[in-house]
Amino acid sequence: MSFPSDEMDDIINDFIAEASEGLESLDQKFIELEKNPGDTGLLNDIFRSIHTIKGAAGFLGFQQMVEVTHVTEDVLNKLRKGEMSVDAGVMDAILESVDLIKVILNNIRERNGRNEDTSGIILSLSGILSASQADQAGEADKPEQAAATAEARTLEVEAKATGPVDEAKAAECEPVAEAETPKASTAAEKVVELPRPEAKPQAEAKQQKEEGGAKEQSIRVDIERLDAVLNLAGELVLSRNRLMRLGSKLSETAVDGDLVSHMNEGIAQLDLVTTDLQLAVMKMRMQPIAKVFNKFPRMVRDLARQNSKEVELVISGEETELDKTVIEELGDPLVHLIRNALDHGMETPEERVAAGKPRCGTVSLSAYQEGRNIIVSVAEDGRGMSPAHIKKSAVEKGLLTEDEAAKLSNKDALNLIFIPGFSTAKKVSNISGRGVGMDVVKTNITRINGSIDIDSEVGKGTRITFSLPLTLAIIQALTVDAGGEVYGIPLSTVIENIRVTDSDIKTVDGKEVIQIRDRVYPVVRLGELVSGNVSSHKSEWRYIVLIGIGEKRFGILVDRLHGQEEIVMKSMGEYLKGTEGIAGACITGDGNVILILDLAGLLQAVQRSYAF
Amino acid sequence: MYDQNMKILVVDDFSTMRRIIKNILKEIGYTNVDEADDGSTALEKLKSAKFDFVVTDWNMPNMPGIELLKAIRQDPELKETPVLMVTAEAAKENVVTAVAAGVNNYIVKPFTAAALKERIDLILEKLKATPQ
């Protein structure tokens, strides 16, 4: 096509986005199809997706894509017309070709110019086609259609007589340089001769168009633009915080009470609008979790087949919405969990029957909102994990001593699986059991301010639950003072604050701990740990901020509590990136820069020195 | 030459496809183009504003192109509107059905700008020849 090149780029980007969406939803449909092979509606849907992609790919000159989609479409066409039936072999071939289409689409996206070997899949699909061809006899036109057929032929003839026609040449649809018949060239001249439409009719047309109402329900926006808006909204939050702070100070000191109260009204209004704006922008970035969930039916099917296990995947709450970034970060951890469930958790059908369970196991993947958090869980009714077995394995691997193991509660024992290097699989399969799974899961989830909970019962199964924030952009923080510096602690991790004196802090084995009610917690002196400043605080009262990450608890000793603030976190930049215990910085209402603690990082430091 | 300002409705469920067709139409001089994402939205648009020409895809959810065509031909207000059907392959049975339902012509994807112009001109020429 001879469109301007930036227009062409735009169209290609559109195509990539639209085609990937279509392909993503296909996996789910294929699994459903395998359950209901006779569902014509579903088959039509699937056929249409492939068909549409082929159509657009043809225009855009993606030849490989056309070849693969073409033969896939042929097979699907036979399926939907009932000329062939869906069986596992056909399904495997179609799934394989859809995978290849995805690879080709990715090549287009990356503009890497790579050519995939399409011959294998084309051959196997053509084989399926020709096998079914044998049953096909040539069909004669139905009598009532004969007249129409005749007219169709005339149409065809007319079209062919008048100039360059596409049909057979369709694939080589290059710029319009085909042989010109005299008629076509006169037509072209006419275009030139035609007076340009005057401004008036054009304006009228425009108006008409607006009245006619080309109302698209949604538009695609580049994620960078969205992030820019989000960033600006964040800045606005900061300015609002600062104004609110100044406003309340002014009320205390100013003489002109009237003016101040007017200003405060204005600020209150700004506060309201900013909150709404923040929410609106946040919503723009929200996507249904189905985006991640959708790839699992296919994965579970493939894994179950590979492992000769019988598993049904039950998905619920896929319409739950989450921030795009959270969704992207969630993919890998869920893949690990599902693989573990299929590989370790689920028994073989024979084992299940022997244990008095139904032959077919169930893995359920669910999501729902709970307050400001989204809860995502993966549960299976497999063999479950034995705390004793995990402890033994951890001791064998030298991850902890027998004494330590003996002291662990069952819950803590289960949490051992999150330690790097831990893997209980007796044999390493190609799916999981390489000991690189669960610790990565934990790191990823903590990175997006989420927490993990694990629940397992021998013989009954295992449930792993993530609690995730709705958004990453704006966080509620507790601001505290330690060693003369102010820090922000993400409120989602704070369990409680307790006022203490120095004498409440005890030393056990040279390590500082605090007893709160009947439990003992490690204590981190924030001032010393982060800035190295010894507290110059004069008052005898201090505060312990009790932090909970998953099942872990520890106390942070600070000099003073400031209050709660909504903050927009900024990264520390290249120079200070990776400072342990610091997640980023932000500007507070009074215009100061404060550091935001990375509690997952702090927890690691605490675990190293306290070995708990 | 025909009225380059005639109002065309492009119907396709794949937005990239609508964009491609709109661009091709622009290339051959037709800029007064509106779009619809399936047969039923198209029908609504056709009923609410006057269109001079319809280019519709065949395979769409809810209301496929052939149903749209039948609905147009059955509507006393719309029945004269020329319809060009876009199909992915020249499957004979499709063409036969479409002709029986009163399509003015059809074109197979992918097509060139010249081919599209050819078909549109052909349809308009034929309409001019047959007094209505």
When scoring A3, A14, A50, A166 by the number of chain B Cβ atoms within 10 A, the one with the most, hence best to mutate, is A166
- For residues A391 and A317, give the distance between their C-alpha atoms in angstroms, rounded to a whole number: 35
Which among A166, A190, A202 has the least Cβ separation from residue B115? A166
| Portion of chain A with pLDDT greater than 70, in percent | 79
Residue bearing the bigger pLDDT, A394 or A146? A394
Domain A474-610 has CATH 3.30.390.50: no
Token pair recorded at residue A433:
């059991």
Q: What is the mean pLDDT of chain A?
A: 77
Kindly state the DSSP code that residue A418 receives in the 8-state scheme. Answer: G
Q: Is the dihedral of CA A70, A71, A77, A79 positive or negative?
A: negative
Q: What's the whole-model pTM score?
A: 0.55
Residue boundaries of the structural domains of chain A? 6-138, 223-282, 289-469, 474-610
Tell me: pLDDT of A31 over 90.
no
CB contacts < 8 Å between A and B, how many? 149
Q: What is the mean pLDDT of residues A515-531?
A: 80
A223-282: CATH, from 1.10.287, 2.20.180, 3.30.70, 1.20.120: 1.10.287
φ and ψ at residue A175, rounded to 5 degrees: -40, 160
Q: Quick count: other Cβ atoms within 10 Å of Cβ A267?
A: 18
Which among A152, A163, A197 has the least Cβ separation from residue B118? A163
Interface of B with A in 41-80 (CB under 8 A): 45, 48-49, 57, 59-61
Whether B13 maps to a domain, the answer reads yes
- For residues A150 and B99, give the distance between their C-alpha atoms in angstroms, rounded to a whole number: 10
Tell me: pLDDT of A200 over 80.
no
Give me the pLDDT at residue A153, please: 53
Domain A6-138 fold is Four Helix Bundle (Hemerythrin (Met), subunit A) (1.20.120)
With CA atoms as reference, the chain B residue closest to A147 would be B100
Give the structural domain span for B26. Answer: 8-129
Give me the pLDDT at residue A206, please: 42
Give me the pLDDT at residue A524, please: 86
Tell me: pLDDT of A185 over 50.
no
Whether B2 maps to a domain, the answer reads no
Token pair recorded at residue A512:
């500082």
Query: CATH number for the domain including B121?
Result: 3.40.50.2300
Burial class (CB in 10 A: 0-12, 13-18, 19+), A260: middle
Give me the pLDDT at residue A169, please: 39
Q: Is the CB of residue A150 less than 8 Å away from at least one CB of chain B? A: no
Give me the pLDDT at residue A314, please: 92
Give me the pLDDT at residue A1, please: 52
C-alpha torsion A576→A577→A579→A584, nearest 10: 90
Question: B15 and A18 in contact by Cβ < 8 A?
Answer: yes
Assign B131 a pLDDT band (cuts: 50, 70, 90).
Answer: low
Q: Tell me how close the Cα of B79 comes to any Cα of chain A, in angstroms.
A: 19
Neighboring chain A residues of B111 at a CB cutoff of 8 Å: 166, 170, 173
When scoring B58, B95, B96 by the number of chain A Cβ atoms within 10 A, the one with the most, hence best to mutate, is B96
Same-fold call for A289-469 versus A474-610: no
Q: Is the CB of residue A30 less than 8 Å away from at least one CB of chain B? A: no
Q: What is the mean pLDDT of chain B?
A: 87
A289-469: CATH number: 3.30.565.10
Which range (A2-16, A190-204, A300-314, B43-57) has the least confidence?
A: A190-204
When scoring A7, A8, A9, A59 by the number of chain B Cβ atoms within 10 A, the one with the most, hence best to mutate, is A59
Which range (A323-332, A399-408, A507-516, A570-579) has the least confidence?
A: A570-579
Q: What is the mean pLDDT of residues A209-223?
A: 60
Give me the pLDDT at residue A377, please: 94
Question: B122 and A158 in contact by Cβ < 8 A?
Answer: yes
Q: What is the mean pLDDT of residues A492-503?
A: 87
Residue bearing the bigger pLDDT, A153 or A530? A530
Whether B119 maps to a domain, the answer reads yes
pLDDT one-digit tens code per residue, A590-609? 778 888 888 877 887 777 77
Token pair recorded at residue A598:
């990375």
Residue bearing the bigger pLDDT, A407 or A211? A407
Range picked from A189-193, A219-223, B29-33 for highest mean pLDDT: B29-33
**Which candidate, A586, A566, A585, A567, places its Cα nearest to that of A576?**
A585
* Number of domains chain B is built from: 1
Question: B4 and A194 in contact by Cβ < 8 A?
Answer: yes
